[in-house]
């Protein structure tokens, strides 16, 4: 759909479908006769085409259940899609072996949402951060030196004080700094950050965002940012994809989408952002489109529906 | 502090419970003697009460006070059934057998149980897990004395591979000789198995569930993203984290193992403290019951204390103070 011919696709998803089998906790009300629990399927991703280009910062934006985190898991190699292909530098992630797998694991690194859960509580910070060099061929001294240098970069100073600390001895912000150090220490090509600041206090959010920005720019890392928060997405990324119910509904330059949203879901997301310049009011100048409730009964994708090209790499899903 | 509180509370319960049972030791003895054809004058019965040092007319708190005073002097009293042997002598004689039985049973169930649970979680939804987990769930719900009965009937009575009762055969002389050691092991296998197999089921299920929880944590995902193999994560990375709750489980289960041990020892007529306690309860031997319960209480408290110490050592989030 998008992508300048000269840029290199680092991650590429094509026609990706992910289906989760769910089991209802109780028989359906109108089927009292059926005692067996019914299982139903949820399409977490529907025919998603998405590319991450080398060196760019791109955000995946959407509400809860829109499939953005699922797409992140698919790109990280944790969730094999039912259909479609996911490639890292042109090679299918789920068929990587040996040296190429090693290269993928070195170069694609996650940062997770909850710093209380993403650091092993039984290991010291030095151990957790050094885990980022697990596949790197370096001497122990080199690794230790790199850990110290990275901790300094993320602002966990004095380094000696933090090396032997356990996660529970750090604040949420400090933990997330450690998680960021762990992600960046191996100098990966791609960082996939799934809501890296949403669990943090508002007071440290800006610091952490700036830290990510600084780390990313100093290493020219490709950055996939997953969030529900349009404001931080605008701050961090130049390109944006808006997801709703497992589909990408709008894609384009971040500025274009925020200045002139074309899909009604994007507009709803924008209206949900509190406007601090108009006290107490929520962006009154935009039309409020009533939310679309109800689930499509069959979940079939209408093959004729495609995307409308608005120019300048701005695409919107036909309604 | 808490430990002392628990100890005193346990002591109080241990003291009160036997006295809530119908009858008392002298009555039991008198009934036995009359059944054996003796005639007893009221003076003789009074003399027996004095001999046993038991006066049911005293208020129970006075009896408790007397007991505590004697306990602090290290005196556990005299057994009524095995008169005139002291309770401490009887316990000292029997306790090594029980420690032998229980410690081996716990070791052979906890160690493999933990590893099986660990790997079952690592291979979740694989054949290994879908066969072993329900099977062990089933096994862990079998009462161990019932399993002991089955073993006794099948292996000892029918097949005659294992002895029916006792801790060693009476043809060997106790001591550090090979014949005696082999005989002891031969006698211990069935009781140990009936204790261990049932206990293992619980350990496996517990370890598996803890491990499944840990494997779902983000830090395990991160470790995978760093290139750690699933095997390595299960063995060293997440395994260590999941081990902690299983150590607590071990301490808690000590109570169940001791409790189950009473019945298992009774079934196998094993000369341990469990069998002794069954004899003491049926004979209403207050001081012996008290002494044995005291040992059980101490054993379980010590197990919990050790688990706490171990936990503090293994888990950086827990400190002793």
Q: What is the pLDDT of residue A293?
A: 34
Q: Is the pLDDT of residue A239 over 90?
A: yes
Q: Hey, is the C-beta of A181 within 8 angstroms of any chain B C-beta?
A: no
Q: What is the pLDDT of residues B144-169, one digit of tens each?
A: 889 989 998 999 888 888 887 777 77
Distance CA A140, CA A127 (A): 12
B176 and B36 in a single domain? The answer is no
Pick among A74, A120, A128, A133 to test the B interface (most B CBs inside 10 A): A120
Do residue B110 and residue B50 come from a single domain? no
pLDDT at A216 over 50: yes
Q: How much is the pLDDT for A3?
A: 43
In 3D, which of B17, B18, B39 has the Cα closest to residue B30? Answer: B39
Q: How many helices (H) and strands (E) does chain A have?
A: 10, 12
Domain edge (last residue) among B28, B43, B72: B72
B67 and B113 both lie in a single domain: no
In a domain, B129, yes or no: yes
- Report yes or no for ipTM above 0.85: no
Whole-angstrom distance, CA of residue A261 vs CA of residue A248: 14
Contacts of A58 (CB under 8 A, 6+ apart): A52, A223, A224, A225, A237, A238, A239, A240, A241
What pLDDT does A290 receive? 39
Q: Which of B16, B47, B72 is the last residue of a domain?
A: B72
Tell me the C-alpha distance between A146 and B148, whole Å. 60
In sign, the C-alpha dihedral spanning A259, A260, A263, A269 is positive
- Segment (H or E) for B5: helix B2-20
The reply to whether B64 and B190 lie within a common domain is no
Q: What is the pLDDT of residue A254?
A: 92
Torsion on CA atoms A174, A177, A178, A181, rounded to nearest 10 = -160
The pLDDT of residue A60 is 94
Claim to verify: residue B129 and residue B241 sit in the same structural domain? yes
Helical spans, DSSP H, in chain A: 68-75, 98-107, 125-130, 140-153, 159-163, 172-184, 202-219, 230-236, 254-259, 264-271
Mean pLDDT on B76-83: 79
**Does residue A289 carry a pLDDT above 70?**
no
Interface test with chain A among B125, B216, B225, B236, by most A beta carbons within 10 Å: B225
Does residue B232 sit at the A interface (CB-CB below 8 Å)? no
pLDDT, greater one: A128 or B303? A128
B244: chain A residues, CB-CB within 8 Å: 122
Q: Which chain B residues contact residue A102 at CB under 8 A?
A: 227
Q: Does B219 touch chain A (CB under 8 A)?
A: yes
> What are the helix and strand counts (H, E) for chain B?
13, 0
In chain B, whose CA is at the least distance from the CA of A165?
A: B316
A140 or B313, higher pLDDT: A140
Structure tokens at A198: 């949403």
Query: What average pLDDT does the structure give for chain A?
Result: 82
Q: Give pLDDT, residue A193.
A: 93
Cα A52 from chain centroid (whole Å): 12
**Segment A299-319 mean pLDDT:** 68
CB contacts, 8 Å: B237 with chain A: 120
Residues from chain A that touch B316, judged by Cβ atoms under 8 A, are 121-122, 124, 166, 168
How far does A179 lie from chain B, in Å, by closest CA?
9
Residues 43-82 of chain B with CB under 8 A from chain A are none
| Same-domain status, B36 and B124 | no
Of B289, B273, B297, the closest CA to residue B94 belongs to B273
What mean pLDDT do residues B293-312 have? Answer: 84
- Is residue A168 less than 8 Å (CB to CB) from chain B? yes
| Cross-chain CB nearest to B241 (options A106, A110, A122) | A122
Total-model pTM: 0.73
Contact A118 B240 (CB under 8 A): no
pLDDT at A64 over 70: yes
Asked, for residue B81, whether it belongs to a domain, the answer is no
Establish if B19 touches chain A: CB-CB under 8 angstroms.
no
- Residue B179, pLDDT score: 84
Q: Which residues contact B14 (CB under 8 A, 6 or more apart)?
A: B289, B290, B293, B294, B297
The highest-confidence range among A25-34, A216-225, A294-303, B14-23, by mean pLDDT, is: A216-225
Q: Is A135 on the interface with B (CB under 8 A)?
A: yes
**What confidence score (pLDDT) does residue B287 get?**
81
Cα–Cα distance between A283 and A296 in angstroms, integer? Answer: 30
Same domain, B166 and B209: yes
B271 shares its domain with B128:
yes
Q: Is residue B107 part of a domain?
A: yes
pLDDT above 60 for A4: no
Chain-chain contact of B241 with A120 (C-beta, under 8 angstroms): yes
- Number of folded domains in chain B? 2
Q: What is the CATH number of the domain that holds B254?
A: 1.10.3720.10
- When mean pLDDT is compared across A260-269, A295-304, B97-106, the lowest value belongs to A295-304
Residue environment code for A272-304, b if the CB has 16+ CB neighbours within 10 A, otherwise e: eeeeeeeeeeeeeeeeeeeeeeeeeeeeeeeee
Residue B124: predicted pLDDT: 67
pLDDT band per the 50, 70, 90 thresholds, residue A304: very low
The better pLDDT of the pair A225, B252 is held by A225
Which residues span the domain enclosing B140? 88-314
**DSSP annotation string for B204-229:** HHHHHHHHHHHHTSHHHHHHHHTT--
- Distance, in angstroms, between A216 CA and closest chain B CA? 18
**Residue numbers in A near B243 (CB within 8 A):** none
Residue B241 to residue A121, Cβ atoms within 8 A:
yes
Residue B117 shares a structural domain with residue B163: yes
> Scanning every residue of chain B, which has its alpha carbon at the shortest distance from the alpha carbon of A111?
B222
Classify domain A9-293+300-317 at the CATH superfamily level.
Answer: P-loop containing nucleotide triphosphate hydrolases (3.40.50.300)
B190 in any annotated domain: yes
């Amino acid at each position: 759909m998008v992508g300048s011919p000269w840029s290199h696709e680092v991650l590429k998803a094509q026609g990706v479908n992910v289906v989760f089998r769910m089991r209802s906790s109780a028989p359906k009300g109108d089927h009292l006769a059926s005692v067996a629990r019914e299982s139903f399927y949820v399409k977490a991703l529907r025919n998603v085409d998405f590319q991450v280009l080398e060196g760019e910062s791109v955000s995946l934006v959407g509400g809860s259940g829109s499939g953005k985190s699922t797409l992140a898991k698919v790109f990280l190699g944790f969730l094999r899609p039912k259909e479609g292909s996911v490639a890292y530098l042109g090679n299918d992630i789920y068929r990587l072996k040996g040296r190429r797998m090693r290269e993928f694991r070195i170069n694609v690194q996650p940062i997770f949402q909850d710093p209380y859960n993403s650091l092993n509580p039984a290991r010291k910070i030095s151990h957790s951060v050094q885990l980022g060099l697990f596949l790197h061929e370096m001497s122990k001294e080199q690794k230790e030196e790199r850990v110290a240098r990275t901790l300094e970069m993320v602002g966990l100073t004095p380094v000696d004080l933090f090396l032997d600390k356990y996660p529970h001895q750090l604040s949420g912000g400090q933990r997330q700094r450690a998680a960021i150090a762990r992600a960046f220490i191996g100098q990966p090509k791609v960082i996939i950050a799934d809501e890296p600041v949403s669990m943090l206090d508002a007071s440290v959010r800006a610091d952490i965002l700036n830290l990510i920005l600084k780390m990313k720019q100093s290493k020219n890392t490709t950055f996939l940012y997953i969030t529900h928060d349009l404001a931080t997405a605008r701050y961090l990324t130049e390109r944006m994809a808006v997801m709703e119910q497992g589909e990408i509904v709008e894609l384009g330059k971040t500025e274009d989408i925020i200045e002139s949203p074309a899909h009604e879901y994007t507009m709803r997301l924008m209206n949900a952002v509190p406007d601090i310049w108009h006290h107490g009011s929520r962006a009154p100048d935009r039309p409020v489109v009533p939310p679309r409730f109800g689930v499509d009964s069959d979940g079939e994708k209408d093959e004729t529906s495609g995307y409308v090209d608005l120019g300048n790499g701005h695409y919107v899903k036909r309604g | 502090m808490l430990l002392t509180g628990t100890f005193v509370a346990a002591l109080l319960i241990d003291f009160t419970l036997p006295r809530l049972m119908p009858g008392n030791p002298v009555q039991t003895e008198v009934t036995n003697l009359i059944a054996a054809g003796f005639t007893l004058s009221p003076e003789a019965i009074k003399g027996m009460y004095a001999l046993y040092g038991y006066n049911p007319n005293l208020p129970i708190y006075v009896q408790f006070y007397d007991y505590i005073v004697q306990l602090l002097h290290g005196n556990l009293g005299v057994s009524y059934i095995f008169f005139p042997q002291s309770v401490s002598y009887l316990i000292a004689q029997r306790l090594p057998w029980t420690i032998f039985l229980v410690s081996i049973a716990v070791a052979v169930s906890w160690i493999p149980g933990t590893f099986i649970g660990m790997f079952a979680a690592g291979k979740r939804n694989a054949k290994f897990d879908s066969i072993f987990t329900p099977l062990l769930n089933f096994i862990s719900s079998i009462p161990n004395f019932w399993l002991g009965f089955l073993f006794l009937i099948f292996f000892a009575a029918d097949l005659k591979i294992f002895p029916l009762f006792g801790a060693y055969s009476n043809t060997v002389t106790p001591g550090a000789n090979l014949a005696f050691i082999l005989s002891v092991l031969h006698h211990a296998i069935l009781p140990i198995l009936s204790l261990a197999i049932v206990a293992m089921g619980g350990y496996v299920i517990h370890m598996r569930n803890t491990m499944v929880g840990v494997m779902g944590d983000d830090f395990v995902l991160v470790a995978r993203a760093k290139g750690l193999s699933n095997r390595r994560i299960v063995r060293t990375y997440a395994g260590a984290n999941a081990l902690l709750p299983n150590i607590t489980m071990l301490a808690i289960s000590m109570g169940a193992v001791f409790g189950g041990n009473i019945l298992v020892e009774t079934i196998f007529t094993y000369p341990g403290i469990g069998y002794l306690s069954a004899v003491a309860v049926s004979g209403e031997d207050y001081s012996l019951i008290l002494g044995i319960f005291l040992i059980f209480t101490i054993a379980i408290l010590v197990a919990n204390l050790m688990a706490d110490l171990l936990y503090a050592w293994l888990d950086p989030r827990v400190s002793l103070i």
